[in-house]
Chains A and B, each alone.
Chain A
Amino acid sequence: MILDGFRRLRKSGVLGMNFRNAGYIMAYNARSAYPLVDDKVQTKRLAEKFGIPIPELYYVVENHGSIAKLPGVLEPLGEFVVKPARGSGGSGIILIKGRTEDGFVTQSGKTMSKEDFNYHIASILSGIFSLEGGEDTAIIEALIHPDAVFKDVTYREGVPDVRIIVYKGVPVMAMVRLPTEASDGKANLHRGAIGAGIDLSSGITLAAVHKSRIVKTHPDTGNPVNGIQLPHWDKLLMTASEAMDMTGLGYLGADFVLDRERGPVLLELNARPGLAIQMANQSGLRIRLDETDSAPPAVFSSPASRVAWARDHFTGPDSSTLISSGG
Chain B
Amino acid sequence: MRRPGFLPAAALFLLTCVLVLYRIIWLGYPVFPVSEGQSWQLLVNVYITPKEEQSGLSLALPSEQTGYMVVEERVLSGMYAFYIHTQGSNRFGVWSGAGVDRPEEITYRATIHSRPRRGVPIQSPLLSPFPTAMSREEQSLAQAAAMKWQASAPMVRFRAVVAALKGNWGDSPPGDDRSRRWRVVQQKYDRTDAALALFRASSLPARAAEGLRLAEEVQTLPTKWIEVWVDRSWVHLNPETWEVYPSSAALLPLAVGGFPAVRATGGELSDIRWTLNRQVLSQWKLFYEQITRSAHFLDRWSLLQLPQEFQGTFRILLLVPIGALIISILRNVVGFPTFGIFMPMLIALAFRSTGTVYGVAIFCGVLLVGYAARSFLDKLHLLLVPRLSVILTLVIACFTLLALVGNKLGLRELMAVGLIPFVILTMTIERFFILIEESGIWEAFRAAIGSVAVAVIAYGLISWETLQFAFFVYPELILTVAALQILLGRYTGYRLSELYRFRFLKGSS
On whether the beta carbons of B385 and A14 are closer than 8 Å, the reply is: no
Give the segment of A54-62, A254-262, A278-286, A302-310 that binds chain B. Answer: A278-286
Task: Report chain A residues within 8 Å CB of B504.
Answer: 209, 212-214, 279, 326-327
Indicate whether A2 sits within 8 Å of B499 (C-beta atoms), given known contacts A8-B507, A8-B508.
yes
Whose C-beta in chain B lies nearest to the C-beta of A16? B494
A137 CB to nearest chain B CB (Å): 15
A123 to B502, CA, bound (A): 37
Q: Quick one: given A9-B494, A191-B440, are A326 and B499 in contact (CB under 8 Å)?
A: no
How many angstroms between the C-alpha atoms of A22 and B1 in the bound complex?
9
Q: Which of B18-26, B189-197, B485-493 contacts A (4 or more CB under 8 A)?
A: B485-493
User: Which residue of chain A lies nearest to B333 when distances are taken between CB atoms in the complex?
Assistant: A18
Q: Does any Cβ of B come within 8 Å of A45's Cβ? A: no
Q: Does chain B have a CB within 8 A of A91?
A: yes
Q: Check A16–B438 contact: CB distance below 8 A.
A: no
Residue of B nearest to A127 (CB): B384
Bound-state Cα–Cα, A297 to B447, Å? 44
Write out, one digit per residue, whether chain A residues 116-155 have a CB within 8 A of any chain B CB (1) or not (0): 1001001100111000010000000000000000000000
Assess the A12–B507 pair: CB atoms within 8 A.
yes
A12 to B506, CA, bound (A): 7
Q: Are B506 and A283 in contact (CB under 8 A)?
A: yes
Task: Say yes or no: is B404 at the interface (Cβ < 8 Å to chain A).
Answer: no
The answer, among A2, A123, A127, A284, for a CB contact under 8 Å with B505, is A284
A19 touches B493 (CB 8 A): yes
Q: Are A18 and B495 in contact (CB under 8 A)?
A: yes
Q: How far is the CA of A122 from the CA of B507 in the complex (A)?
A: 49
B383 beta carbon closer than 8 Å to chain A: yes
Interface contact tally, CB-CB below 8 A: 96
Q: How far is the CA of A123 from the CA of B443 in the complex (A)?
A: 24
What are the residues of chain A within 8 A of B1 when measuring CB–CB?
22-23
Let me know if A326 and B383 touch, CB within 8 A. Answer: no
A325 (CB) vs chain B CBs: closest residue: B506
Is residue A35 within 8 Å, beta carbon to beta carbon, of the partner chain? no
Interface members, chain B 353-401 (any A CB < 8 Å) = 381, 383-385
Closest A residue to B501 using CB positions: A212
Q: Which residue of A lies closest to B437 (CB)?
A: A91
Of listed A11, A22, A327, residue having the most chain B CB within 10 A: A22
Name B456-509 residues within 8 Å CB distance of A: 489-496, 498-499, 501-509
- In the assembled complex, the Cα of A322 lies from the Cα of B505 at a distance in Å of 9
A-side contacts of B506, CB under 8 Å: 12, 282-283, 322, 325-326
Task: Tell me, rounded to whole Å, the shortest Cβ–Cβ distance linking A175 to chain B.
Answer: 14
Identify whether the interface residues of B are mostly helix, strand, loop, or mixed: loop
CA A325 – CA B1 in complex, angstroms? 34
Separation in Å of the B288 CB from the closest CB of chain A?
Answer: 45
Q: Which residue of A lies closest to B332 (CB)?
A: A18
Would A9 and B381 count as touching, CB distance under 8 A? no
Residue of B385, B491, B498 touching A126 (CB-CB under 8 A)? B385
Tell me, yes or no, whether A71 is within 8 Å of chain B by CB: no
Per the 8 Å Cβ criterion, residues 259-294 of A in contact with B are 275, 278-279, 282-284
Q: Does A5 contact B (CB under 8 A)?
A: yes
> For chain A residues 43-69, which have a beta carbon within 8 Å of chain B?
none
* Contacting residues, chain B, for A325 (C-beta < 8 A): 506-507
Please, which residues of chain A bring their CB within 8 A of the CB of B439? 190-191
Q: Is the CB of B507 within 8 A of A191?
A: no
A109 within 8 Å of B (CB atoms): no
Beta-carbon contact of A5 and B381 below 8 Å: no
Question: Given the complex, which residues of B lie within 8 Å of A326, measured CB to CB?
Answer: 504, 506
CB distance from A11 to the nearest CB of B (A): 7
B492 A23 Cβ-Cβ under 8 A: yes
Smallest CB separation, A171 vs chain B (Å): 21
Mark interface residues in A2-43 (1 if CB within 8 Å of B CB, else 0). 100110111110101111001100000000000000000000
- Name 15 extra pairs, CB < 8 A, besides A16-B494, A17-B335: A6-B493, A6-B494, A8-B508, A9-B494, A9-B502, A14-B502, A16-B492, A16-B495, A19-B492, A122-B383, A123-B384, A191-B439, A212-B503, A214-B504, A282-B506
Selected A-B contacts with CB under 8 Å, 19 pairs = A9-B499, A11-B507, A12-B508, A14-B502, A16-B495, A17-B335, A18-B493, A18-B495, A22-B490, A22-B492, A119-B381, A126-B384, A127-B384, A190-B438, A191-B440, A283-B505, A284-B508, A325-B506, A327-B504
Report which A residues bind B (CB closer than 8 A).
2, 5-6, 8-12, 14, 16-19, 22-23, 89, 91, 116, 119, 122-123, 126-128, 133, 190-192, 209, 212-214, 275, 278-279, 282-284, 322, 325-327
7 tightest A-B CB contacts, nearest first: A12-B507, A16-B494, A19-B492, A12-B508, A5-B499, A126-B384, A282-B506
